[in-house]
Amino acid sequence: MQEIQIGLLGAGVVGGGTLQALAQKGDRIAAALGCRLRVKRVLVRDPEKTREVPVDPALLTTCPEDILDDPAVQIVVELIGGEEPARSYIARALEQGKHVVTANKEVIAKHGFALLALAQKRRVNLFYEASVGGGIPIIAVLRRDLVANEISQIQAIINGTTNFILTEMEQGRDYAEALRHAQRLGYAEPDPRNDVEGIDAAYKLAILATLAFRTNVRPEDIPRTGITGLHAKDFRYAREMGYVIKLLATARRLDGEIEAAVHPALLPLDHHLASVKGVFNAVLIDGDQIDKLMLYGRGAGARPTSSAVLADICAVAQSILRGTPEPIDLRTDGARLRDFGEVESRFYLRMQVADQPGVLAQIARVLGDARISIASVIQKETDESARSAEIVLMTHLAKERRMAEALEQIRTLPVVRQVSSFIRVAK
């Protein structure tokens, strides 16, 4: 039986999971493919380190050339993560005519186009299913199954860490407490910045939007707001009004332009994504043929992610056996990313104000002058002694720029002590 040799870069959580799956399912996969997958070399930083998944010491190397320059290695699986040296390794592997499978969202989001062009030039495959949504086959579905669809919108919960934290806050915990819980469970890093500030979600959204809209959406161009400013109180008000709060990654095509953003959003309770809880991810796609399609599953973890890595490895193996790589489609419609100030949304606003007559009138006047109309208002007396009250209001559709300007003026009103929360409302 023919053998295909794999070089693995990285033996961390996903790398270990992939090695384990390859070992456990080797025979089954071989029978399915009609060829054997063999891991020839594994690049690690520290060969002495004890690993959850033990690796044959003979396979370990600290020298990338042992894999990237080995002509016997046909598939390089990059599971190091981070921008460099991962990007250089991938580029070098492609240059050497090797197929590449990666789970690296940062590299694909920032350099996917260049690397795919290189893969096309060298007539090899570059697959990255595991870079978005863990075990959810969202890349394959967009790339292949929705080919007949004009996609108009993607709404996604694609960061499990933040969704876990927000699910905890829904139960009344405050942000710091929920974050600590996520860290205790290993869902959040000691330095959670990448997740809680929406950076990770922006990488994934850039990959999805680039595929869905056939345009090169760069992660640094995606406006993003993290979840660090959210308060348990907002979840209670949201519930009162029939909403939940999620970190939403959204991209849509509108009048030939692309809108893309990552930020917390109030979702109506009957929204398809409203019931996505804990570390689970979900991607909701609107297409002209399918109408709505949702994929839901585990967006992270060794097993789900290695499920995607193995699917890619098997697809590459098949294309090697068939003698031709899968075609790569680099055409772009050249649709532009819309200036965020021009993007329309509804807004949720929570303010501490002086408990005196005419306060709401002053705020309403500012919004009215900006031609932003109010959809609903809740006013509650909070602290009688301090004679302060709390106003929560939701607007109708308004442009980001107008809203930002109005917000500036509201902040300057003497009767407004503090604007505590400012959250977008999705539909």
* Residues identified as active-site: 204
Please, what is the minimum distance in Å from the beta carbon of residue 313 to a copy of itself? 9
Q: Which CB atom, from 199 or from 293, has the smaller least distance to a copy of itself?
A: 293
Closer to a copy of itself at the Cβ: 152 or 352?
152
Distances (CA, A) of 365 to 20, 299, 371: 63, 45, 9
CB of 174 vs a copy of itself, minimal distance in Å: 25
Span 77-136, contacts to a copy of itself by CB under 8 A: 129, 135-136
Identify which of residues 184 and 322 has a Cβ nearer to a copy of itself in the complex: 322
Told to check if 192 binds a copy of itself by CB under 8 A, we report no
When asked if residue 31 is in the footprint of a copy of itself (CB under 8 A), the reply is yes
Among 96, 113, 199, 296, binds a copy of itself (CB under 8 A): 296
Query: Using the rule CB under 8 A, is 35 a contact of a copy of itself?
Result: no
147 scored as a contact of a copy of itself (CB under 8 A): yes
Residues that bind a copy of itself (rule: CB under 8 A) add up to a total of: 53
Q: Which long-range contacts (CB under 8 A, 24 or more apart) does 288-291 make?
A: 288/149, 288/150, 288/152, 289/146, 289/148, 289/149, 289/150, 290/146, 290/149
3-state secondary structure the chain: CCEEEEEEECCCHHHHHHHHHHHHHHHHHHHHHCCEEEEEEEECCCCCCCCCCCCCHHHEECCCHHHHCCCCEEEEEECCCCCCCHHHHHHHHHHCCCEEEECCHHHHHHHHHHHHHHHHHCCCCEECHHHCCCCCCHHHHHHHHCCCCCEEEEEEECCHHHHHHHHHHHCCCCHHHHHHHHHHCCCCCCCCHHHHCCHHHHHHHHHHHHHHCCCCCCHHHCCECCCCCCCHHHHHHHHHCCEEEEEEEEEEEECCEEEEEEEEEEEECCCCCCCCCCCEEEEEEEECCCEEEEEEEECCCHHHHHHHHHHHHHHHHHHHHHCCCCCCCCCCCCCEECCHHHCEEEEEEEEEEECCCCHHHHHHHHHHHCCCCEEEEEEEEEECCCCEEEEEEEECCEEHHHHHHHHHHHHHCCCEEEEEEEEEECC
297 binding a copy of itself? (CB under 8 A): yes
Minimum distance from residue 361 beta carbon to a copy of itself (Å): 42
* One residue of 59, 117, 141, 232 binding a copy of itself per CB under 8 A: 141
CB of 354 to a copy of itself, least distance (A): 43
Hey, which residues between 265 and 294 contact a copy of itself (CB under 8 A)? 272, 275, 287-294
* 361 is a site residue for a copy of itself (CB under 8 A): no
Binding residue for a copy of itself, selected from 331, 334, 384, 414, defined by CB under 8 A:
331
> Looking at beta carbons only, is 5 or 305 nearer to a copy of itself?
305
**Choice between 58 and 147, CB closer to a copy of itself:** 147
Residue closest to 375 by CA, chosen among 269, 246, 241: 241
Q: Does 242 bind a copy of itself (CB under 8 A)?
A: no
Taking the complex as a whole, the smallest distance from the CB of residue 277 to a copy of itself amounts, in Å, to: 9
Stretch that binds a copy of itself, among 42-50, 58-66, 258-266, 315-323 (CB under 8 A): 315-323
Is 295 or 374 the residue whose CB approaches a copy of itself more closely?
A: 295
Least distance CB 287 / a copy of itself (angstroms): 7
Applying CB under 8 A, which of residues 10, 81, 264, 304 lies at the interface with a copy of itself? Answer: 304
Q: Which of 2, 3, 23, 34 binds a copy of itself (CB under 8 A)?
A: 34
Tokens 């999805």 correspond to 208
Q: Does 307 bind a copy of itself (CB under 8 A)?
A: yes
List contacts with a copy of itself (CB under 8 A): 21, 25, 29, 31-34, 129, 135-137, 140-141, 144-150, 272, 275, 287-298, 301, 303-304, 306-308, 310-311, 314-315, 318, 321-324, 326-327, 329, 331
